[in-house]
């Protein structure tokens, strides 16, 4: 705990204030929607419109007043501003159950959300002044935990309030009070507590040191779309994450009326609401660990598709217990999509664009989520209740169920399209990947993002790899591009020693597993000392042989498990994969005929080399987007031209060179 960011007293106190007020805010949201539904009586359409109104008034201030609040927040004393806004929120939420009508419910909510717009930038600007720079990321993480991790707790408390409302009303002598009323009172006092804590924080600076302020959501959206349009992967990720929040948002927005249609009470509403966020938290926390071996691109689309499918199933369920279980699973897979999408964006987006893209996504997701929360009850109200007789069984489905069904279909379709577009391991079935991942045979298949370009030449003996790699180096250097040409084994001083052991006939027989490990050792040091540093500098790295050689030679050639050899190489290289692998293919006897005095591997029997060739073919067929297979018997100049043709788009995509 000594090294934790929460061990810093001023930040710890601010974090506690944020945690308590966030808990109160979630409790207030539950209470506000429940109160809106109660005020509507038995009118189904009116209840849905009333609930939608709560979400709409929460959206309006952020869209219309966000820029103004950000500018003004920098002009006032931060500590005083936060204290005043917390006191205002205390007064507003305290008044809602006292007044008890629609007009004041919406008015007070609108005013409370407006003052929150002033509180948030003051808090965000304060945090960097309370923690060291190297702990700012940790501070942001625990803030997110406070902001979103308190939602399930609020749902549990709301459910308990609903269960024990009568007893509490008697103890407090509040006649005709409801769980929503008590929850709103608790919400109000959480802000009073936060105001007191912030008032005692003398470490908060009076105002910002600069005149910079947050841009509006609309400006962020406009800027973000310009960058998103340049990358199909980023575009697919964003659309996918929107699909995930459409699914989760539909459940949140319709939970109140959906539970009411199941003839359950406010306690069930709180449990269902909390199930969504509990599932999201579990998916975000456990998903990356449980699926660490799985392809991120595949799991993103697959988990979104599963979430959408469970939303469709939820819309058809008329049992509360099953609905809660399905909601939990739905939230879990939505959480996996969310965290996987953000991880991939961090890998796919260049550092200089990352801030703008993330700001854009945060704004877009916020607008989309709240719009779904606002619109879904309106759609449900417009559809109304419908009764069907199926095989002498009467089924009643309402607008909430139909709207969830539509949202589920949308989320499922978006997930399926995302899964199809993000080509990662073509030719390998999804179930086969699942089995391999559970066995630990897969590695992270997403490259580490570097400004450079990584190209590997592979093929059997005497196929011309060395010739073509040197020709590619010369062509790139003539274009003014920094190139590093290397080889395996032997690309480092350490590797040269290993090369002499591995290829010398004097070494004699080596255990196949020991041979695989020696190649992995060479590769680990090669990546660490040569390949990765030069990629980070923005250079083009060309290697004569890489991990596919081990899979082909030590895996297939030595009749070891190709999956095991691949896993060893992924661990040794930290899953660094070439952007392009060029395989020069030819019959083994042709290449071997060119070699007069073969080394230890070249001297192996012809069936060994046949197995090597077959394994290269399997590797290329599994991922055709990353491999270029060329007939090594073609003219040298023809091969050179085809290699250049394939490399040019990669250079342009990574802005390397001078526009080849």
Residue-level length of the chain:
660
How many other C-beta atoms are found inside a 10 Å radius of the C-beta of residue 592? Answer: 17
Backbone angles phi, psi at 655, to 5 degrees: 55, 45
Rounded average pLDDT over 357-374:
66
The pLDDT score that the predictor gives to residue 88 is: 94
Residue of 152, 370, 149 whose CA lies nearest to 246 = 370
The pLDDT score that the predictor gives to residue 454 is: 93
Which residues partner with 457 through β-bridges? 544, 582
Residue of 593, 585, 578 whose CA lies nearest to 642 = 585
- pLDDT bin (cut points 50, 70, 90) of residue 295 is low
The pLDDT score that the predictor gives to residue 645 is: 93
The pLDDT score that the predictor gives to residue 611 is: 92
Which residues lie closer than 8 Å to 70 by C-beta, 6 or more apart?
Answer: 117, 121, 213, 214, 215
Rounded average pLDDT over 262-270:
70
The pLDDT score that the predictor gives to residue 308 is: 87
- pLDDT bin (cut points 50, 70, 90) of residue 12 is confident
- pLDDT bin (cut points 50, 70, 90) of residue 473 is very high
Do 239 and 293 touch, CB atoms closer than 8 A? no
Structure token pair of residue 580:
């392009």
DSSP string for residues in 225-278: HHHHTT-HHHHHHHHHHHHHHHHHHHHHHHHHHHHHHTT--HHHHHHHHHHHHH
- pLDDT bin (cut points 50, 70, 90) of residue 382 is confident
| Nearest-angstrom CA–CA distance, 203 and 481 | 52
User: Which pLDDT tens digit goes with each residue over 601-660?
Assistant: 888 889 999 999 999 998 888 777 789 999 999 999 999 999 999 999 888 877 787 545
- pLDDT bin (cut points 50, 70, 90) of residue 314 is confident
User: Which pLDDT tens digit goes with each residue over 331-345?
Assistant: 888 877 777 776 666
For the beta sheet containing 483-487, the strands, ordered from the edge strand earlier in sequence to the opposite edge, are 483-487, 540-544, 453-459, 580-585, 627-631
DSSP string for residues in 68-81: HHHHHHTTS-HHHH
Alpha-helix runs per DSSP H in 527-587: 532-536, 547-550, 562-573
Residue 446 has pLDDT above 50, yes or no: no
Do 372 and 320 touch, CB atoms closer than 8 A? no
Do 584 and 465 touch, CB atoms closer than 8 A? yes
Which residues partner with 585 through β-bridges? 631
How many other C-beta atoms are found inside a 10 Å radius of the C-beta of residue 290? Answer: 15
Task: Indicate the helix (H) or strand (E) that contains 627.
Answer: strand 627-631
- pLDDT bin (cut points 50, 70, 90) of residue 443 is very low
Residue 222 has pLDDT above 60, yes or no: no
Residue of 210, 223, 218, 213 whose CA lies nearest to 68 = 213
Q: Is the peptide bond before 461 cis (omega within 30 degrees of 0)?
A: no
Q: pLDDT > 90: what percent of the chain?
A: 20
Strand ranges for 479-626 from DSSP E:
483-487, 540-544, 580-585
Between 474 and 402, the more confident residue is 474
**Domains within the chain, CATH numbers bracketed:** 1-214 (1.20.1250.20), 230-442 (1.20.1250.20), 447-653 (3.40.50.300)
Do 579 and 626 touch, CB atoms closer than 8 A? yes
Backbone angles phi, psi at 510, to 5 degrees: -120, 140
User: Which pLDDT tens digit goes with each residue over 90-111?
Assistant: 999 999 888 878 788 888 888 9
User: Which pLDDT tens digit goes with each residue over 407-441?
Assistant: 888 888 888 877 776 655 544 556 656 665 555 55
Which residues lie closer than 8 Å to 389 by C-beta, 6 or more apart?
Answer: 395
Rounded average pLDDT over 23-47:
79
The pLDDT score that the predictor gives to residue 175 is: 58
DSSP 41: T
The pLDDT score that the predictor gives to residue 410 is: 85
Rounded average pLDDT over 135-143:
64
Name the average pLDDT for the chain.
Answer: 78
Which residues partner with 631 through β-bridges? 585
Q: Say which range, 51-65, 111-125, 202-216, 522-536, has the weakest mean pLDDT.
A: 202-216
For 81-99, the three-class secondary structure string (H helix, E strand, C coil) is HHHHHHHHHHHHHHHHHHH
Rounded average pLDDT over 17-35:
86
Rounded average pLDDT over 517-535:
93
What is the chain's Cα-based Rg? Answer: 30
The pLDDT score that the predictor gives to residue 444 is: 40
Residue of 154, 115, 139 whose CA lies nearest to 25 = 154
Structure token pair of residue 189:
């006092």
- pLDDT bin (cut points 50, 70, 90) of residue 486 is very high
Rounded average pLDDT over 375-388:
74
Residue 581 has pLDDT above 90, yes or no: yes
- The residue whose two tokens read 């947050």 is 214
DSSP 554: I
The pLDDT score that the predictor gives to residue 475 is: 94
The pLDDT score that the predictor gives to residue 211 is: 41
The pLDDT score that the predictor gives to residue 358 is: 58
The pLDDT score that the predictor gives to residue 406 is: 85
DSSP 204: S
């Amino acid at each position: 705990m000594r090294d934790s960011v929460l061990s810093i007293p001023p930040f710890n106190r601010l974090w506690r204030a944020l945690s308590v007020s966030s808990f109160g805010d979630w409790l207030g949201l539950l209470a506000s929607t429940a109160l809106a539904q109660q005020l509507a009586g038995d009118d189904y359409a009116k209840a849905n419109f009333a609930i939608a109104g709560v979400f709409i008034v929460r959206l309006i201030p952020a869209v219309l007043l966000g820029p103004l609040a950000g500018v003004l927040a920098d002009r006032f004393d931060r500590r005083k501003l936060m204290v005043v806004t917390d006191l205002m929120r205390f007064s507003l939420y305290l008044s809602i159950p006292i007044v008890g009508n629609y007009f004041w419910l919406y008015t007070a909510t609108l005013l409370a959300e407006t003052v929150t717009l002033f509180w948030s930038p003051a808090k965000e600007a304060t945090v960097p002044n309370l923690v060291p720079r190297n702990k700012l990321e940790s501070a942001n993480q625990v803030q997110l935990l406070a902001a979103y991790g308190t939602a399930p707790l609020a749902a549990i408390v709301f459910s308990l309030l609903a269960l024990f409302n009568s007893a509490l009303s008697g103890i407090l002598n509040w006649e005709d009070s409801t769980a929503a009323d008590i929850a709103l009172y608790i919400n109000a006092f959480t802000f009073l507590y936060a105001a007191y804590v912030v008032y005692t924080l003398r470490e908060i600076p009076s105002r910002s040191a600069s005149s910079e302020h947050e841009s509006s959501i609309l400006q962020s959206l406009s800027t973000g779309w310009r960058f998103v349009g340049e990358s199909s992967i980023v575009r697919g990720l964003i659309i996918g994450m929107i699909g995930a929040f459409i699914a989760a948002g539909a459940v949140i927005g319709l939970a109140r009326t959906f539970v009411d249609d199941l003839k359950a009470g406010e306690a069930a509403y709180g449990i269902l609401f909390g199930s969504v966020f509990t599932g999201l938290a579990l998916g975000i926390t456990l998903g990356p660990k449980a699926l660490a071996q799985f392809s991120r691109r595949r799991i993103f689309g697959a988990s979104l598709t599963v979430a959408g499918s469970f939303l469709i199933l939820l819309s058809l369920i008329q049992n509360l217990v099953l609905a809660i279980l399905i909601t939990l699973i739905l939230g879990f897979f939505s959480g996996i999509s969310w965290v996987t999408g953000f991880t991939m964006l961090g890998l796919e987006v260049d550092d200089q664009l990352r801030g703008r893209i993330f700001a854009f996504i945060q704004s877009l997701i916020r607008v989309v989520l709240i719009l779904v929360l606002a619109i879904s009850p309106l759609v449900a109200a417009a559809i109304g209740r419908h009764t069907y007789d199926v095989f002498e069984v009467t089924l009643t489905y309402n607008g909430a169920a139909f709207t969830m069904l539509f949202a589920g279909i949308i989320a499922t379709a978006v997930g399926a399209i995302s899964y199809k577009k993000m080509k990662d391991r073509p030719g390998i079935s999804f179930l086969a990947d699942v089995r391999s991942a559970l066995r630990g045979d897969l590695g992270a298949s997403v490259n580490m993002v570097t400004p450079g370009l990584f190209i590997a030449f592979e093929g059997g003996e005497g196929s011309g790899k060395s010739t073509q790699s040197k020709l590619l180096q010369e062509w790139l250097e003539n274009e003014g591009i920094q190139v590093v040409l290397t080889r395996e084994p032997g690309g480092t001083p350490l590797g040269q020693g290993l090369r002499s052991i591995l290829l010398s006939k004097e070494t004699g027989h080596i255990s196949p597993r020991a041979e695989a490990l020696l190649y992995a050792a060479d590769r680990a040091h090669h990546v660490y000392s040569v390949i990765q540093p030069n990629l980070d500098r923005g250079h083009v790295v060309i290697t004569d042989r890489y991990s596919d050689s081990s899979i082909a030679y030590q895996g297939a050639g030595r009749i070891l498990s190709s999956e095991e050899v691949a896993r060893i190489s992924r661990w040794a290289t930290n899953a660094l994969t070439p952007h392009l692998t060029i395989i020069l293919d030819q019959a083994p006897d042709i290449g071997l005929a060119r070699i007069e005095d073969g080394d230890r591997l070249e001297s192996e029997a012809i069936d060994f080399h046949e197995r090597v060739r077959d394994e290269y073919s399997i590797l290329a067929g599994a991922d055709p987007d990353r491999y270029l297979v060329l007939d090594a018997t073609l003219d040298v100049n023809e091969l050179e031209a085809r290699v250049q043709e394939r490399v040019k788009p990669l250079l342009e995509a990574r802005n390397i060179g001078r526009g080849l």
